[in-house]
Chains A and B, each alone.
Chain A
Amino acid sequence: MIRILRTSLSILAAFWLLLNANCAIMQWQRQYLGDPIMYFDKDGDETKLNNHIYPRREGSGGGYGGAGGGCGC
Protein backbone atom coordinates (compact mmCIF):
# COMPACT_ATOMS: atom_id res chain seq x y z
CA MET A 1 0.00 0.00 0.00
CA ILE A 2 2.78 2.39 0.97
CA ARG A 3 4.65 1.44 -2.19
CA ILE A 4 1.61 2.24 -4.32
CA LEU A 5 1.16 5.52 -2.53
CA ARG A 6 4.80 6.42 -3.08
CA THR A 7 4.62 5.55 -6.77
CA SER A 8 1.45 7.54 -7.21
CA LEU A 9 2.91 10.56 -5.51
CA SER A 10 6.04 10.30 -7.64
CA ILE A 11 4.04 10.18 -10.85
CA LEU A 12 1.91 13.06 -9.66
CA ALA A 13 4.96 15.13 -8.81
CA ALA A 14 6.54 14.38 -12.20
CA PHE A 15 3.33 15.30 -14.00
CA TRP A 16 3.07 18.49 -12.00
CA LEU A 17 6.59 19.48 -12.91
CA LEU A 18 6.09 18.74 -16.60
CA LEU A 19 2.84 20.67 -16.63
CA ASN A 20 4.50 23.67 -15.11
CA ALA A 21 7.37 23.43 -17.55
CA ASN A 22 5.03 24.71 -20.24
CA CYS A 23 3.93 27.67 -18.16
CA ALA A 24 7.02 29.76 -18.72
CA ILE A 25 7.82 32.43 -16.20
CA MET A 26 8.84 35.48 -18.17
CA GLN A 27 12.07 37.32 -17.62
CA TRP A 28 10.33 40.32 -16.08
CA GLN A 29 8.57 38.05 -13.58
CA ARG A 30 11.75 36.74 -12.00
CA GLN A 31 12.60 39.43 -9.52
CA TYR A 32 11.98 37.00 -6.67
CA LEU A 33 13.45 33.88 -8.28
CA GLY A 34 16.60 35.88 -9.08
CA ASP A 35 17.09 37.00 -5.52
CA PRO A 36 20.24 35.39 -4.05
CA ILE A 37 18.26 34.10 -1.06
CA MET A 38 16.43 31.85 -3.54
CA TYR A 39 19.59 30.08 -4.70
CA PHE A 40 19.78 26.42 -3.72
CA ASP A 41 23.53 26.46 -3.27
CA LYS A 42 24.00 30.00 -2.12
CA ASP A 43 27.44 29.60 -0.57
CA GLY A 44 29.47 26.94 -2.32
CA ASP A 45 32.34 27.05 0.14
CA GLU A 46 30.00 26.58 3.09
CA THR A 47 28.35 23.64 1.33
CA LYS A 48 31.72 22.11 0.63
CA LEU A 49 32.78 22.37 4.26
CA ASN A 50 29.51 20.87 5.49
CA ASN A 51 29.63 18.04 2.98
CA HIS A 52 33.00 17.10 4.36
CA ILE A 53 31.60 16.70 7.87
CA TYR A 54 28.33 14.82 7.58
CA PRO A 55 29.55 11.72 5.70
CA ARG A 56 32.18 11.16 8.44
CA ARG A 57 29.43 11.00 11.05
CA GLU A 58 26.78 9.09 9.14
CA GLY A 59 26.59 5.88 7.18
CA SER A 60 25.30 7.62 4.08
CA GLY A 61 26.58 10.49 2.04
CA GLY A 62 26.43 12.21 -1.30
CA GLY A 63 23.51 12.50 -3.64
CA TYR A 64 23.56 16.27 -3.93
CA GLY A 65 25.58 16.35 -7.12
CA GLY A 66 28.77 18.05 -6.04
CA ALA A 67 32.32 16.82 -6.43
CA GLY A 68 34.48 16.50 -3.38
CA GLY A 69 37.90 15.27 -2.49
CA GLY A 70 38.11 12.13 -0.48
CA CYS A 71 39.85 11.55 2.80
CA GLY A 72 40.65 8.57 4.91
CA CYS A 73 37.97 9.37 7.44
Chain B
Amino acid sequence: MLNSRSHRPWTSRRAGPRHARPARIAIGVALASVRVFASGEGNAVAYSYQYYGDNNKCHVSTNLAHAQLKLGDHWTAGVDMTLDAITAASRSDDKARIIDATTSATRTTSRPASVLGSVDAITSASRTGEMRKEFGATLGFLYDFIKLFRNDPNNDDPTSFSASGISSVENNYTSRTVSGGIAQDLFQRNTTVGLRYTISFDQYSPPARFLPPVGHESWDYFGDGRRITESATFSLTQGITTTTIASVIFGYGRDRGYLDRPYYVITVGDTGSGLDSLYQEHVPPEKENITAVAKFNQYIPILDGSSIQLDYRYYQDTWSTRSHTIGAQWYFRFLNNWVVRPEYRIYYQTPAFFYSDIYYVPQPYMTADLKYSPFIAHTVGGKISFEVRDFVKPSDSPYFALFPTSISIAFRDYFRGGPTDPAVLERHYSYYGSSTRTSGGGEPGDGEAEAGDGEGDGGGGLFRGFNSYWLQTGIQFAF
Protein backbone atom coordinates (compact mmCIF):
# COMPACT_ATOMS: atom_id res chain seq x y z
CA MET B 1 0.00 0.00 0.00
CA LEU B 2 1.35 3.32 -0.97
CA ASN B 3 2.14 5.87 1.61
CA SER B 4 -0.40 8.51 0.76
CA ARG B 5 1.62 11.28 2.32
CA SER B 6 4.71 10.51 0.26
CA HIS B 7 2.69 10.59 -2.95
CA ARG B 8 1.20 14.02 -2.35
CA PRO B 9 4.01 16.41 -3.03
CA TRP B 10 1.46 19.11 -3.98
CA THR B 11 0.34 19.34 -0.40
CA SER B 12 3.52 21.16 0.52
CA ARG B 13 3.17 23.53 -2.42
CA ARG B 14 -0.41 24.39 -1.55
CA ALA B 15 0.66 25.22 1.94
CA GLY B 16 2.61 28.11 0.50
CA PRO B 17 5.84 29.61 1.68
CA ARG B 18 6.89 28.82 5.19
CA HIS B 19 6.67 32.46 6.28
CA ALA B 20 3.02 32.64 5.23
CA ARG B 21 1.90 29.85 7.49
CA PRO B 22 1.83 31.79 10.78
CA ALA B 23 -0.37 34.44 9.19
CA ARG B 24 -2.79 31.86 7.89
CA ILE B 25 -2.84 30.10 11.24
CA ALA B 26 -3.52 33.43 12.97
CA ILE B 27 -6.38 34.24 10.60
CA GLY B 28 -7.81 30.78 11.12
CA VAL B 29 -7.62 31.10 14.88
CA ALA B 30 -9.20 34.56 14.72
CA LEU B 31 -12.08 33.34 12.60
CA ALA B 32 -12.56 30.34 14.85
CA SER B 33 -12.56 32.65 17.86
CA VAL B 34 -15.20 34.85 16.28
CA ARG B 35 -17.36 31.82 15.60
CA VAL B 36 -16.97 30.62 19.16
CA PHE B 37 -17.61 33.92 20.92
CA ALA B 38 -20.09 35.64 18.63
CA SER B 39 -23.50 35.16 20.10
CA GLY B 40 -25.46 35.66 16.90
CA GLU B 41 -27.94 38.21 18.22
CA GLY B 42 -26.91 41.84 17.81
CA ASN B 43 -24.54 41.22 14.91
CA ALA B 44 -25.02 43.61 12.04
CA VAL B 45 -23.38 44.99 8.95
CA ALA B 46 -24.43 48.22 7.30
CA TYR B 47 -23.56 50.19 4.24
CA SER B 48 -24.33 53.86 3.60
CA TYR B 49 -23.76 56.04 0.60
CA GLN B 50 -23.89 59.82 0.66
CA TYR B 51 -23.73 62.30 -2.16
CA TYR B 52 -23.00 65.91 -1.25
CA GLY B 53 -23.15 68.90 -3.58
CA ASP B 54 -23.19 72.67 -3.17
CA ASN B 55 -23.20 75.86 -5.19
CA ASN B 56 -19.51 76.17 -4.42
CA LYS B 57 -18.93 73.52 -7.07
CA CYS B 58 -17.90 70.95 -4.53
CA HIS B 59 -19.07 67.35 -4.80
CA VAL B 60 -18.36 64.57 -2.35
CA SER B 61 -19.26 60.92 -2.66
CA THR B 62 -18.97 59.03 0.61
CA ASN B 63 -19.10 55.28 1.12
CA LEU B 64 -19.39 54.06 4.69
CA ALA B 65 -19.32 50.40 5.70
CA HIS B 66 -19.83 49.35 9.27
CA ALA B 67 -19.90 45.99 11.02
CA GLN B 68 -20.74 45.17 14.60
CA LEU B 69 -20.22 41.88 16.29
CA LYS B 70 -21.45 40.77 19.67
CA LEU B 71 -18.89 38.58 21.39
CA GLY B 72 -20.54 36.63 24.15
CA ASP B 73 -22.69 38.30 26.79
CA HIS B 74 -20.43 41.23 27.60
CA TRP B 75 -18.28 42.24 24.67
CA THR B 76 -19.01 43.95 21.40
CA ALA B 77 -16.62 44.88 18.62
CA GLY B 78 -17.14 47.09 15.63
CA VAL B 79 -15.19 48.22 12.62
CA ASP B 80 -16.01 50.84 10.05
CA MET B 81 -14.47 52.23 6.93
CA THR B 82 -15.24 55.53 5.21
CA LEU B 83 -14.10 56.65 1.79
CA ASP B 84 -14.68 60.23 0.65
CA ALA B 85 -14.15 60.98 -3.03
CA ILE B 86 -14.02 64.76 -3.35
CA THR B 87 -14.05 66.93 -6.44
CA ALA B 88 -13.95 70.70 -6.33
CA ALA B 89 -12.73 73.74 -8.16
CA SER B 90 -9.25 74.82 -7.23
CA ARG B 91 -8.46 78.44 -6.56
CA SER B 92 -7.21 80.82 -9.17
CA ASP B 93 -5.15 83.93 -8.71
CA ASP B 94 -2.80 85.66 -11.06
CA LYS B 95 -2.69 89.18 -9.79
CA ALA B 96 -1.35 89.32 -6.29
CA ARG B 97 1.51 88.34 -4.12
CA ILE B 98 0.84 86.36 -1.02
CA ILE B 99 2.55 87.42 2.16
CA ASP B 100 2.48 85.87 5.56
CA ALA B 101 0.03 87.51 7.90
CA THR B 102 2.40 87.89 10.80
CA THR B 103 5.89 88.16 9.44
CA SER B 104 7.73 88.66 6.20
CA ALA B 105 10.76 86.78 7.44
CA THR B 106 12.51 84.80 4.77
CA ARG B 107 13.29 81.19 5.16
CA THR B 108 16.67 79.64 5.57
CA THR B 109 15.44 76.06 5.69
CA SER B 110 14.20 73.79 2.99
CA ARG B 111 10.94 75.68 3.00
CA PRO B 112 10.55 78.35 0.33
CA ALA B 113 12.27 81.70 0.76
CA SER B 114 9.00 83.53 1.05
CA VAL B 115 5.67 82.16 1.97
CA LEU B 116 3.94 82.21 -1.34
CA GLY B 117 5.83 84.91 -3.07
CA SER B 118 5.41 83.72 -6.59
CA VAL B 119 2.47 84.34 -8.82
CA ASP B 120 1.95 80.67 -9.40
CA ALA B 121 1.48 80.03 -5.72
CA ILE B 122 -2.14 79.34 -6.40
CA THR B 123 -2.58 77.73 -9.71
CA SER B 124 -5.24 78.25 -12.29
CA ALA B 125 -8.75 77.17 -11.60
CA SER B 126 -9.46 73.60 -12.53
CA ARG B 127 -11.24 70.58 -11.26
CA THR B 128 -9.32 68.78 -8.59
CA GLY B 129 -9.96 65.62 -6.70
CA GLU B 130 -8.81 63.85 -3.61
CA MET B 131 -9.65 60.84 -1.53
CA ARG B 132 -10.03 60.61 2.22
CA LYS B 133 -9.80 57.18 3.80
CA GLU B 134 -10.94 56.61 7.34
CA PHE B 135 -10.77 53.42 9.36
CA GLY B 136 -12.19 52.95 12.81
CA ALA B 137 -12.53 50.23 15.41
CA THR B 138 -14.61 50.11 18.56
CA LEU B 139 -14.59 47.78 21.52
CA GLY B 140 -17.34 47.72 24.11
CA PHE B 141 -17.82 45.94 27.42
CA LEU B 142 -21.08 45.69 29.33
CA TYR B 143 -21.40 44.36 32.87
CA ASP B 144 -23.77 44.85 35.79
CA PHE B 145 -21.37 45.61 38.64
CA ILE B 146 -24.18 46.88 40.86
CA LYS B 147 -25.94 43.57 40.64
CA LEU B 148 -22.68 41.88 41.60
CA PHE B 149 -21.97 44.13 44.58
CA ARG B 150 -25.51 44.17 45.91
CA ASN B 151 -25.94 40.47 45.25
CA ASP B 152 -29.37 41.33 43.90
CA PRO B 153 -30.36 39.16 40.91
CA ASN B 154 -33.21 41.50 40.03
CA ASN B 155 -31.00 44.57 39.66
CA ASP B 156 -30.67 45.84 36.12
CA ASP B 157 -28.21 48.74 36.01
CA PRO B 158 -25.31 47.73 33.78
CA THR B 159 -22.13 49.68 33.28
CA SER B 160 -20.79 50.01 29.76
CA PHE B 161 -17.25 50.86 28.73
CA SER B 162 -16.26 51.73 25.20
CA ALA B 163 -13.02 52.59 23.47
CA SER B 164 -12.45 53.49 19.87
CA GLY B 165 -9.68 54.45 17.53
CA ILE B 166 -9.98 56.24 14.20
CA SER B 167 -7.38 56.86 11.54
CA SER B 168 -8.11 59.29 8.71
CA VAL B 169 -5.72 59.87 5.85
CA GLU B 170 -6.00 62.20 2.87
CA ASN B 171 -3.44 63.50 0.45
CA ASN B 172 -1.95 66.14 2.70
CA TYR B 173 -3.65 65.62 6.02
CA THR B 174 -3.66 62.86 8.59
CA SER B 175 -5.69 62.45 11.74
CA ARG B 176 -5.51 59.91 14.56
CA THR B 177 -8.27 59.84 17.15
CA VAL B 178 -8.72 57.79 20.29
CA SER B 179 -11.75 57.95 22.50
CA GLY B 180 -12.91 56.32 25.71
CA GLY B 181 -16.18 56.46 27.58
CA ILE B 182 -18.16 55.00 30.43
CA ALA B 183 -21.93 54.99 30.95
CA GLN B 184 -23.73 53.87 34.07
CA ASP B 185 -27.42 53.01 34.28
CA LEU B 186 -29.13 53.86 37.57
CA PHE B 187 -32.53 53.41 39.20
CA GLN B 188 -33.46 50.35 37.17
CA ARG B 189 -32.34 51.97 33.93
CA ASN B 190 -34.39 55.10 34.48
CA THR B 191 -31.26 57.23 34.54
CA THR B 192 -28.00 57.01 32.60
CA VAL B 193 -24.92 59.07 33.31
CA GLY B 194 -21.99 59.04 30.95
CA LEU B 195 -18.50 60.42 30.53
CA ARG B 196 -16.47 60.48 27.34
CA TYR B 197 -13.05 61.80 26.45
CA THR B 198 -11.69 62.15 22.92
CA ILE B 199 -8.32 63.31 21.68
CA SER B 200 -7.18 63.77 18.09
CA PHE B 201 -3.68 64.21 16.74
CA ASP B 202 -3.76 65.84 13.33
CA GLN B 203 -1.10 67.03 10.97
CA TYR B 204 -1.04 69.10 7.82
CA SER B 205 1.46 68.23 5.11
CA PRO B 206 0.82 70.81 2.38
CA PRO B 207 3.00 71.20 -0.69
CA ALA B 208 6.17 73.17 0.01
CA ARG B 209 4.91 76.35 -1.62
CA PHE B 210 2.08 76.56 0.92
CA LEU B 211 4.26 76.14 4.00
CA PRO B 212 4.15 79.05 6.45
CA PRO B 213 7.42 80.84 7.18
CA VAL B 214 9.90 79.90 9.86
CA GLY B 215 8.75 81.11 13.25
CA HIS B 216 5.06 80.91 12.42
CA GLU B 217 3.39 80.68 15.83
CA SER B 218 0.74 78.16 14.82
CA TRP B 219 2.82 75.98 12.52
CA ASP B 220 5.55 75.71 15.12
CA TYR B 221 3.23 75.38 18.12
CA PHE B 222 3.75 71.62 18.20
CA GLY B 223 6.03 71.64 15.21
CA ASP B 224 5.40 70.63 11.59
CA GLY B 225 1.81 71.78 11.35
CA ARG B 226 0.42 69.52 14.02
CA ARG B 227 -2.70 70.16 16.01
CA ILE B 228 -4.26 68.44 19.01
CA THR B 229 -7.99 68.48 19.61
CA GLU B 230 -9.51 67.32 22.88
CA SER B 231 -13.08 67.08 24.07
CA ALA B 232 -14.80 65.81 27.18
CA THR B 233 -18.51 65.41 27.71
CA PHE B 234 -20.76 64.56 30.61
CA SER B 235 -24.25 63.33 29.82
CA LEU B 236 -27.36 62.65 31.85
CA THR B 237 -30.35 60.86 30.33
CA GLN B 238 -33.56 60.53 32.27
CA GLY B 239 -36.85 58.77 31.66
CA ILE B 240 -39.41 61.36 32.71
CA THR B 241 -42.66 59.54 32.10
CA THR B 242 -43.67 56.40 30.28
CA THR B 243 -43.71 58.41 27.04
CA THR B 244 -41.06 61.05 27.66
CA ILE B 245 -37.29 60.93 27.84
CA ALA B 246 -34.82 63.79 28.15
CA SER B 247 -31.07 64.19 28.02
CA VAL B 248 -28.55 66.92 28.79
CA ILE B 249 -24.91 66.93 27.69
CA PHE B 250 -22.24 69.33 28.90
CA GLY B 251 -19.01 69.52 26.99
CA TYR B 252 -15.60 71.13 27.04
CA GLY B 253 -13.21 71.21 24.11
CA ARG B 254 -9.74 72.51 23.43
CA ASP B 255 -7.96 72.90 20.09
CA ARG B 256 -4.26 73.72 19.97
CA GLY B 257 -1.62 73.99 17.31
CA TYR B 258 -1.87 74.76 13.62
CA LEU B 259 -5.56 75.63 13.27
CA ASP B 260 -5.03 77.64 10.06
CA ARG B 261 -5.80 76.29 6.60
CA PRO B 262 -2.75 76.96 4.44
CA TYR B 263 -4.77 77.21 1.21
CA TYR B 264 -7.08 79.96 2.42
CA VAL B 265 -6.04 83.44 1.39
CA ILE B 266 -7.25 86.92 2.33
CA THR B 267 -7.17 90.06 0.23
CA VAL B 268 -5.77 93.02 2.16
CA GLY B 269 -5.77 96.55 0.86
CA ASP B 270 -7.71 98.32 -1.84
CA THR B 271 -9.05 95.82 -4.32
CA GLY B 272 -10.10 98.47 -6.80
CA SER B 273 -6.68 100.11 -7.07
CA GLY B 274 -4.87 96.89 -7.69
CA LEU B 275 -2.60 97.58 -4.74
CA ASP B 276 -3.94 94.72 -2.71
CA SER B 277 -1.98 91.74 -1.53
CA LEU B 278 -2.99 88.26 -0.62
CA TYR B 279 -2.16 86.82 2.75
CA GLN B 280 -2.44 83.33 4.10
CA GLU B 281 -5.18 82.72 6.62
CA HIS B 282 -3.93 82.94 10.16
CA VAL B 283 -6.06 82.22 13.23
CA PRO B 284 -5.09 81.94 16.90
CA PRO B 285 -3.30 78.70 17.77
CA GLU B 286 -5.55 77.97 20.74
CA LYS B 287 -9.27 77.72 21.16
CA GLU B 288 -11.40 76.48 24.04
CA ASN B 289 -15.11 75.92 23.91
CA ILE B 290 -17.99 74.89 26.12
CA THR B 291 -21.25 73.37 24.99
CA ALA B 292 -24.57 72.56 26.57
CA VAL B 293 -27.04 70.30 24.79
CA ALA B 294 -30.60 69.48 25.80
CA LYS B 295 -32.68 66.82 24.08
CA PHE B 296 -36.30 65.96 24.57
CA ASN B 297 -38.19 63.06 23.05
CA GLN B 298 -41.95 62.63 23.35
CA TYR B 299 -43.87 59.56 22.19
CA ILE B 300 -47.26 60.17 20.58
CA PRO B 301 -49.57 57.15 20.21
CA ILE B 302 -50.92 57.85 16.74
CA LEU B 303 -50.72 55.72 13.61
CA ASP B 304 -48.38 52.81 14.39
CA GLY B 305 -46.31 54.99 16.70
CA SER B 306 -44.94 58.49 16.49
CA SER B 307 -42.45 60.66 18.32
CA ILE B 308 -41.26 64.24 18.32
CA GLN B 309 -37.63 64.95 19.12
CA LEU B 310 -36.42 68.44 19.99
CA ASP B 311 -32.85 69.44 20.69
CA TYR B 312 -31.00 72.61 21.52
CA ARG B 313 -27.29 73.33 21.68
CA TYR B 314 -25.50 76.33 23.09
CA TYR B 315 -21.87 76.86 22.10
CA GLN B 316 -19.31 79.43 23.23
CA ASP B 317 -15.59 79.61 22.58
CA THR B 318 -12.59 81.81 23.29
CA TRP B 319 -12.69 83.20 19.76
CA SER B 320 -15.88 85.03 20.80
CA THR B 321 -18.11 82.79 18.74
CA ARG B 322 -21.43 81.95 20.30
CA SER B 323 -24.03 79.83 18.60
CA HIS B 324 -27.51 78.50 19.15
CA THR B 325 -28.81 75.42 17.35
CA ILE B 326 -32.38 74.19 17.48
CA GLY B 327 -33.49 71.00 15.80
CA ALA B 328 -36.85 69.27 15.48
CA GLN B 329 -37.62 65.84 14.08
CA TRP B 330 -40.93 64.09 13.79
CA TYR B 331 -40.97 60.33 13.39
CA PHE B 332 -44.13 58.55 12.45
CA ARG B 333 -44.55 54.91 11.58
CA PHE B 334 -47.25 53.51 9.34
CA LEU B 335 -48.08 50.13 7.85
CA ASN B 336 -46.09 48.68 10.75
CA ASN B 337 -42.68 48.87 9.06
CA TRP B 338 -42.46 52.25 7.33
CA VAL B 339 -41.04 55.25 9.16
CA VAL B 340 -41.11 58.79 7.82
CA ARG B 341 -39.15 61.59 9.45
CA PRO B 342 -39.41 65.24 8.38
CA GLU B 343 -36.94 67.54 10.11
CA TYR B 344 -35.88 71.14 10.47
CA ARG B 345 -32.78 72.75 11.98
CA ILE B 346 -31.93 76.40 12.51
CA TYR B 347 -28.48 77.68 13.42
CA TYR B 348 -27.32 81.12 14.49
CA GLN B 349 -23.82 82.29 15.35
CA THR B 350 -21.88 85.42 16.22
CA PRO B 351 -18.54 86.08 14.48
CA ALA B 352 -15.08 85.18 15.62
CA PHE B 353 -13.30 88.24 17.01
CA PHE B 354 -10.80 88.34 14.15
CA TYR B 355 -13.32 88.01 11.32
CA SER B 356 -13.89 90.99 9.09
CA ASP B 357 -15.59 91.35 5.74
CA ILE B 358 -12.78 93.65 4.61
CA TYR B 359 -9.22 93.97 5.89
CA TYR B 360 -7.70 97.32 4.89
CA VAL B 361 -4.43 96.68 6.69
CA PRO B 362 -2.87 93.40 7.79
CA GLN B 363 -4.08 92.10 11.13
CA PRO B 364 -2.43 89.57 13.43
CA TYR B 365 -5.26 87.15 12.71
CA MET B 366 -7.26 87.14 9.49
CA THR B 367 -9.60 84.81 7.71
CA ALA B 368 -11.78 84.92 4.63
CA ASP B 369 -13.80 81.94 5.72
CA LEU B 370 -17.45 82.86 6.07
CA LYS B 371 -17.93 80.11 8.59
CA TYR B 372 -16.46 82.57 11.09
CA SER B 373 -18.87 85.34 10.07
CA PRO B 374 -22.23 86.06 11.70
CA PHE B 375 -25.04 84.21 9.95
CA ILE B 376 -28.20 82.19 10.25
CA ALA B 377 -28.52 78.85 8.49
CA HIS B 378 -31.47 76.56 7.92
CA THR B 379 -31.64 72.86 7.18
CA VAL B 380 -34.77 71.13 5.97
CA GLY B 381 -34.92 67.48 5.17
CA GLY B 382 -36.64 64.18 5.46
CA LYS B 383 -36.07 60.48 5.62
CA ILE B 384 -38.12 57.42 4.80
CA SER B 385 -37.13 53.96 5.85
CA PHE B 386 -38.43 50.42 5.87
CA GLU B 387 -37.53 48.64 9.09
CA VAL B 388 -38.07 45.09 10.24
CA ARG B 389 -39.26 45.25 13.82
CA ASP B 390 -38.17 42.83 16.52
CA PHE B 391 -35.98 40.79 14.21
CA VAL B 392 -35.11 37.33 15.50
CA LYS B 393 -32.59 35.28 13.62
CA PRO B 394 -33.95 31.85 12.58
CA SER B 395 -32.29 29.18 14.65
CA ASP B 396 -31.62 26.93 11.66
CA SER B 397 -30.02 29.61 9.46
CA PRO B 398 -26.36 29.41 8.44
CA TYR B 399 -24.09 31.40 10.71
CA PHE B 400 -23.10 34.07 8.18
CA ALA B 401 -26.46 34.36 6.45
CA LEU B 402 -27.46 38.02 6.05
CA PHE B 403 -30.98 39.21 6.80
CA PRO B 404 -31.89 42.72 5.63
CA THR B 405 -33.40 44.63 8.55
CA SER B 406 -33.65 48.18 7.25
CA ILE B 407 -33.27 50.28 4.15
CA SER B 408 -33.56 54.04 4.07
CA ILE B 409 -33.12 57.18 2.03
CA ALA B 410 -32.72 60.71 3.39
CA PHE B 411 -32.31 64.16 1.90
CA ARG B 412 -31.25 67.48 3.41
CA ASP B 413 -30.95 70.99 2.08
CA TYR B 414 -28.75 73.46 3.95
CA PHE B 415 -28.84 77.12 3.07
CA ARG B 416 -27.64 80.35 4.56
CA GLY B 417 -27.46 83.95 3.49
CA GLY B 418 -24.30 85.82 2.73
CA PRO B 419 -22.96 89.35 2.40
CA THR B 420 -24.99 91.77 0.33
CA ASP B 421 -22.64 94.76 0.34
CA PRO B 422 -21.19 95.06 -3.21
CA ALA B 423 -17.77 95.97 -1.84
CA VAL B 424 -17.75 92.87 0.30
CA LEU B 425 -18.94 90.73 -2.57
CA GLU B 426 -16.16 92.00 -4.77
CA ARG B 427 -13.72 91.25 -1.99
CA HIS B 428 -14.98 87.72 -1.57
CA TYR B 429 -14.96 87.13 -5.29
CA SER B 430 -11.38 88.25 -5.40
CA TYR B 431 -10.42 85.69 -2.80
CA TYR B 432 -11.17 82.85 -5.10
CA GLY B 433 -10.83 83.00 -8.83
CA SER B 434 -10.20 86.62 -9.70
CA SER B 435 -10.43 86.04 -13.40
CA THR B 436 -12.78 83.14 -13.76
CA ARG B 437 -14.83 83.71 -10.62
CA THR B 438 -14.63 80.05 -10.04
CA SER B 439 -15.16 79.64 -6.37
CA GLY B 440 -12.60 78.06 -4.17
CA GLY B 441 -13.16 74.64 -2.82
CA GLY B 442 -9.87 72.94 -2.57
CA GLU B 443 -6.40 72.30 -3.66
CA PRO B 444 -5.35 68.74 -4.25
CA GLY B 445 -5.01 67.16 -0.89
CA ASP B 446 -5.87 70.15 1.20
CA GLY B 447 -8.91 68.54 2.66
CA GLU B 448 -10.80 71.73 2.13
CA ALA B 449 -12.90 70.60 -0.73
CA GLU B 450 -15.47 69.74 1.86
CA ALA B 451 -15.19 73.17 3.34
CA GLY B 452 -17.22 75.05 0.83
CA ASP B 453 -17.57 78.44 2.32
CA GLY B 454 -20.28 80.10 0.43
CA GLU B 455 -17.96 82.55 -1.24
CA GLY B 456 -18.81 81.09 -4.59
CA ASP B 457 -21.16 82.57 -7.08
CA GLY B 458 -22.57 79.19 -7.91
CA GLY B 459 -21.76 79.75 -11.53
CA GLY B 460 -24.60 82.17 -11.93
CA GLY B 461 -22.66 85.40 -11.60
CA LEU B 462 -24.67 86.72 -8.66
CA PHE B 463 -24.02 85.95 -5.04
CA ARG B 464 -26.93 83.94 -3.77
CA GLY B 465 -25.62 82.79 -0.46
CA PHE B 466 -24.46 79.30 0.28
CA ASN B 467 -26.61 76.31 -0.53
CA SER B 468 -25.75 72.66 -0.16
CA TYR B 469 -27.65 69.41 -0.20
CA TRP B 470 -26.86 65.84 0.56
CA LEU B 471 -28.56 62.56 -0.14
CA GLN B 472 -28.02 59.53 2.05
CA THR B 473 -29.04 55.94 1.48
CA GLY B 474 -28.40 53.06 3.80
CA ILE B 475 -29.05 49.37 4.16
CA GLN B 476 -28.49 47.21 7.19
CA PHE B 477 -28.30 43.47 7.64
CA ALA B 478 -28.36 41.24 10.68
CA PHE B 479 -26.39 38.02 10.75
Is B305 engaged at the interface, CB distance under 8 Å to the other chain?
yes
> In the complex where A35-B305, A60-B315 touch, is A30 in contact with B349 (Cβ < 8 A)?
no
Q: Complex: how many Å from CA A33 to CA B237? A: 12
Whether, in the assembled complex, B160 has its beta carbon less than 8 Å from a beta carbon of chain A, the answer is no
What A residues does B243 contact at CB under 8 A? 32-33
Interchain nearest-CB distance for B26 vs A (Å):
27
Contacting residues, chain B, for A59 (C-beta < 8 A): 319, 321, 323, 349, 351-352, 371-372
User: Contact between B46 and A45 (Cβ–Cβ < 8 Å)?
Assistant: yes
A73 with B295, Cβ < 8 A, contacts A35-B305, A45-B46 known: no
* Neighbouring A residues of B204 by C-beta, 8 Å: 72
Is B179 positioned at the interface, with any CB of A under 8 Å from its CB? Answer: yes
User: Is A17 a contact of B173 with CB atoms below 8 Å?
Assistant: no
Bound CA span A50–B347, Å: 14
A25 in contact with B172 (CB, 8 Å): no
Q: Which residue of B lies closest to A32 (CB)?
A: B299
A17–B64 contact, CB under 8 A? no
With A45-B46, A60-B317 known as contacts, the answer to whether A33 contacts B242 (CB < 8 A) is yes
Residues of chain B contacted by A53 (CB below 8 angstroms): 52, 414, 450, 468, 470
Q: Which residues of B contact A68 (CB under 8 A)?
A: 166, 177, 198
**A55 vs B80: C-alpha distance when bound (angstroms):** 21
Q: Would A24 and B187 count as touching, CB distance under 8 A?
A: yes
Q: Which of B4-12, B97-105, B227-235, B430-438 is found at the contact surface with chain A?
A: B227-235
Answer whether A67 and B323 are a contact pair too, CB < 8 Å, given A21-B190, A57-B371, A58-B347: no
The yes or no answer to A37 lying at the interface (CB within 8 A) is yes
Cα separation A26 to B187 with both chains bound (whole Å) = 10
Q: Quick one: which of B48, B237, B321, B377 contacts A45, CB cutoff 8 A?
A: B48
Number of B positions contacting A (CB below 8 A) = 103
> What is the number of contacts between chain A and chain B, taking CB atoms within 8 Å?
193
Whether A63 lies near B313 (C-beta < 8 A) is: yes
| A45-B474 in contact (CB<8A) | yes
Q: Is there an interface contact between B242 and A30, defined as CB atoms closer than 8 Å? A: yes
How close is B218's CB to chain A, nearest CB, in angstroms?
14
Q: How far is the CA of A42 from the CA of B28 in the complex (A)?
A: 35
4 new A-B contacts at CB < 8 Å, known A26-B188, A37-B333, A73-B450: A25-B190, A45-B64, A67-B164, A69-B177
Interface residues of A (CB under 8 A from B): 13, 17, 20-22, 24-27, 29-30, 32-33, 35-38, 40, 43-46, 48-50, 52-54, 56-60, 62-65, 67-73
Question: Which residues of B are at the interface with A, using a C-beta cutoff of 8 A?
Answer: 46, 48, 50, 52, 62, 64, 66, 80, 82, 132, 134, 136, 156, 164, 166-168, 170, 172-173, 175, 177, 179, 181, 186-188, 190-191, 194, 196, 198, 200, 202, 204, 229, 231, 233, 235-243, 245-249, 251, 253, 261, 289, 291-293, 295, 297, 299, 301, 305-307, 309, 313, 315, 317, 319, 321, 323, 331, 333, 339, 347, 349, 351-352, 371-372, 377, 383, 387, 389, 408, 410, 412, 414, 416, 446-448, 450-452, 454, 466, 468, 470, 472, 474
